[in-house]
Amino acid sequence: MEIVEKAPMPVAAPLDQSVMARIKRIPTAYLALWIIGAICVVALLSFMGCSLCQYSFDQTSSDFLAGPSAEHWMGTDELGRDLFSRIVYGARLSIAIGLTTAAVAFIIGTLYGALSGYLGGKVDTLMMRGVDIAYSLPDLLVMILIGVLLGRGTVGILIALGLVSWMGTARLVRAQFLQLKNEEFIEAARAQGQSGWNIVFKHLLPNALGPIIVALTFTVPSAILSESTLSFIGLGLSPPACSWGTLASDGWRSLRAHPHLIFFPSLFIFITVLSFNFLGDGLRDALDPRTRLGKNSH
């Protein structure tokens, strides 16, 4: 009788240079990575105080509501402020809000989901019912309530977005832990007398990082869009601070007479959200163990 060896269970690809090599073979994901990198560099330089524009973001002039020109590449707003300068300044707030929300979702969601998935049993059931209750609350309502309580500021927006973004990550981490905790390498770690914390952070979490990182790439654009929604209903950042969402909200009032005021901020929101979505799809393919094993079998 022929003995067929059981194929090893696919484990998520490590986050190393091989993942980048697979990303390079996905044109849309690789282009999206460069676009996101460029936007993040611009945002970082702006945050560090580097002068990237001819005009300050809050510098007014007598050239009101001018269209795009050689002097003002994207025109000016109702106060004569250069729109290009304000978009560059708004990039740091929009990207910071997206990345911070993703970081909050990662920290809270990972810890919550890891604890629920690893302990299992009644603890898991109780913790997941808490997630279900949190999911049942409308995200927009929660963000509005927090915005009203904490005011129109960056801190309030970050808290609001963070509180509505971690549940999906928690469910994903829990599912990964439930799948992995009964594998042979985990049983071997238990047999060696390793502690629960060591098993979670040394064995379980590294093997679950791939899907978590993919999920976080979709959290960033979702946070940017949510902040734009808050801006449209009047709960965005307080002037003179601005993000792409507040700029688009301000431009909405002059949509017909001066469409450039909403076109350019909306264009950058669209490009950033689309790039993160393309990057997420590419990472999902690059980190998929079935795809990796399929290629290795040829």
* Residue 292 clears pLDDT 60, i.e. is over it: no
The three-point CA angle 45-50-56 to 5° equals: 115
Could you tell me the pTM of the whole model? 0.78
Please tell me which residue, 125 or 236, carries the higher pLDDT value. Answer: 125
Q: What is the pLDDT at residue 271?
A: 93
pLDDT of residue 31: 93
Q: What are the tens digits of pLDDT across the range 82-119?
A: 888 888 888 888 898 889 889 988 899 999 998 888 88
For the chain, list the domains and their CATH numbers. Answer: 86-287 (1.10.3720.10)
- At 59-79, the pLDDT tens digits run 777 788 888 888 888 888 888
pLDDT value for 267: 92
Residues in the chain: 298
How far apart are alpha carbons 266 and 26 in whole angstroms?
A: 26
- Rounded to an integer, what distance in angstroms lies between the CA atom of residue 92 and that of residue 94? 6
Cα→Cα distances 199→74, 110, 171, 178, 256, Å:
54, 15, 19, 13, 60
- Burial class of residue 3 in the structure, from the number of CB atoms within 10 Å of its CB (0-12 exposed, 13-18 middle, 19+ buried): exposed
**Quick one: pLDDT at residue 155?**
80
Average predicted confidence (pLDDT) for the chain: 81
Task: Compute the Cα dihedral for 213, 214, 220, 226 and give only its sign.
Answer: negative
DSSP string of 89-115, one letter each residue: HHHHHHHHHHHHHHHHHHHHHHHHHHH
**What is the identity of the amino acid at 34?**
W
Write out pLDDT tens, residues 225-282.
888 888 877 777 777 778 888 888 888 877 788 888 889 999 999 999 999 989 988 8
